[in-house]
Amino acid sequence: MRLIKNCLYCNKKLIGRTDKKYCDPQCKSSHQYQREKQKPKRFYNKVDNQLRLNRKLLKEYNRAGKATVRSGILIKEGFNPKFFTHYWKNKKEDVYFFVYEYGFLKRKENGIEKYVLIQWQDYMN
């Protein structure tokens, strides 16, 4: 005896196996996509995606090992300074925030907010 008589996505009458849920692969895919879209984004995925974007941008703008970039440029590309993996404090008490091996320090020079970008070094342990 068939429990589900119609396709879960398009509601067409099903023909064939008694445990069939969809009329074709397209309906199955569309239904699963629709269900997944309705679920709230997982917190872990949001954090991981932002960390990956932050690392990519820090790496891209810091090719020489140390650089200074206006904060507006990075933020415009999606950089979020609230997402970092760890920090390091130097002898001057400046706190560098790191996204894996790429770090940044927020500075204000001549009224313009900038980030000093650095790369992790062995002496920072």
Supply the pLDDT for residue 114. 96
Alpha helices in 18-112 (DSSP H): 25-38, 43-61, 71-76
Per-residue pLDDT of the chain in tens (125 residues, 90 and over written 9): 556 689 999 999 998 888 899 999 999 999 999 988 888 778 888 999 999 999 999 999 999 989 999 999 999 999 999 999 999 999 999 999 999 999 999 999 999 999 999 999 998 88
pTM of the model: 0.68
Supply the pLDDT for residue 4. 62
CA-nearest of 26, 50, 38, 84 to 115 is: 84
- CA dihedral in degrees (93, 97, 98, 103; nearest 10)? -70
* Integer Cα distance of 74 and 55 in angstroms: 11
The strand pairing partners of 96, in sequence order, are: 88
CA-nearest of 75, 73, 81 to 104 is: 81
Supply the pLDDT for residue 54. 97
Supply the pLDDT for residue 5. 86
* Integer Cα distance of 30 and 7 in angstroms: 12
Supply the pLDDT for residue 1. 53
